[in-house]
Amino acid sequence: MLTHRRWESLDTANRDWLRAKYHFAVSADGNPDHAALGPLIVWNDDEIAVGSGFPMHGHRDMEIVTYVRQGLLGHRDTVGSEGTIHAGDVQVMSAGTGIRHAEFNKGDVPLKVYQIWLLPRKAGGEPAWDTKPFPRGDRSGRFVTLASGFAGDEGALPIRANARVFGAMLKAGESVRHELSPARRAYLVVASGRIEVNGEPVGPLDGVAITKVAAAQISALEDSELVMVDAG
């Protein structure tokens, strides 16, 4: 079963410094068709103006994966971590018992990021932060595991949720198959390009919830950048 969440159907927030689209409803008056998918509860598409960002604020008991689509993301937090994340790279933060952090645009172009929130397997634990470059060329024609809550996913950033985050770059005409099962759920977003998922056309910036199927057959109609969460 595929549930297509088109860009124009997503809830929106527009401020002087932030433009946001929400793949999952973030308030009681949000799109009722855009419910959580297992541990995956938030997928925000944020555009942050030059010189702006989120001031210091807190989280707890949440796994937050940030995928940078364009620009430079700056990060600092109350456990002493600080970093700059480039386009195509990934940041993970396990909030655990509590962490405060700030995120901001360090570049000279609008910063575009996906903010993906996952419920942890269990509450508590020491807060942690990490980041890693994932060259887009390494993802050519295939899904690469960017972050994982499972042992054995070598090279992936660790998270404490029953989920994996993947990225892929497909040339027009290329296809990739992602094995699932009727009991598993995935959410796929087209960061750029156009694709088909099991024959369903999916346009740029659209999302699609994939449930109750054995596999997702993904074909690129044009050069495409894809980000997907397999939520177990």
CA 204, 210, 144, 107 dihedral sign is positive
Average pLDDT over residues 153-164: 96
Q: What is the pTM of this model?
A: 0.96
pLDDT reported for residue 28: 81
- Distance from C-alpha of 69 to C-alpha of 56, rounded to nearest angstrom: 22
Q: Residue 49: which pLDDT band, with cuts at 50, 70 and 90?
A: very high
pLDDT reported for residue 96: 97
pLDDT reported for residue 232: 77
Average pLDDT over residues 14-35: 92
The annotation places the binding site at: 57, 59, 101, 103
Q: Residue 27: which pLDDT band, with cuts at 50, 70 and 90?
A: confident
Domain ranges of the chain: 2-230
Burial class of residue 231 in the structure, from the number of CB atoms within 10 Å of its CB (0-12 exposed, 13-18 middle, 19+ buried): buried
136: left (phi over 0), alpha (psi -120 to 50) or beta: alpha
pLDDT at 1 over 90: no
Give 156-188 as a 3 state SS string: CEECCCCCEEEEEEECCCCEEEEECCCCCEEEE
Average pLDDT over residues 167-188: 95
Query: Rounded to the nearest 10 degrees, how much is the dihedral formed by the CA atoms of 78, 97, 231, 87?
Result: 0
- The better pLDDT of the pair 32, 197 is held by 197
Q: Residue 4: which pLDDT band, with cuts at 50, 70 and 90?
A: very high
- Distance from C-alpha of 73 to C-alpha of 146, rounded to nearest angstrom: 17
CA–CA–CA angle 120, 90, 184 (5° rounding):
45
pLDDT (tens digit per residue) in 189-222: 999 999 999 999 999 999 999 999 999 999 999 9
The annotation places the binding site for Fe cation at: 57, 59, 101, 103
- Does the domain spanning 2-230 belong to CATH 3.30.420.10? no
Residue 100: name the closest of 76, 118, 116, 123 by CA: 76
